[in-house]
Amino acid sequence: MENLAKVDSSPDLLDEVKALLWEGRVNTAMGKFEQRSDEHADRFVAYLRKHHHRIVNYEYYQLEGLSIGSGAIESGIKQIAARVKLTGAQWKAENVPQVLRHRCAYLNGQLSVIDQIAG
């Protein structure tokens, strides 16, 4: 969206392209700028060509009730980092994966399953 905002075009066209990208219709969005010889439009299309494989259909994920933000993942990483960096705790590098497995199992309510397997 940052690159799209730099394109000098009508607000209606920019809104249309934004909606197309939200739906994952990257090729159709690029087609809206085929007849333009504007530096910013060219950069935007080049960006879309380079990253088209990473642009998903956000509308589908939203309709399915799936998270499209990174907040939950970032929060989880911070929680795990805080547990691994406990004051006074020392971890051998080879033990960290086990600590992380236990932490993930605990957060997922599966700790008893891990204990049964390890036991």
* Residues 19 and 49 reside in one and the same domain: yes
* Residues 83 and 112 reside in one and the same domain: yes
Q: Is 69 left (phi over 0), alpha (psi -120 to 50) or beta?
A: beta
* Residues 6 and 55 reside in one and the same domain: yes
* Residues 49 and 97 reside in one and the same domain: no
Number of compact structural domains in the chain: 2
pLDDT tens over the chain, length 119 residues: 787 888 888 889 999 999 999 999 999 999 998 887 788 888 889 999 998 888 888 888 888 887 777 777 778 778 777 766 777 777 788 888 887 888 788 788 776 654 555 55
**Containing domain of residue 99, as a range?**
71-118
What's the pLDDT score for residue 6? 84
* Residues 81 and 101 reside in one and the same domain: yes
What's the pLDDT score for residue 17? 92
pTM of structure: 0.55
What's the pLDDT score for residue 118? 55
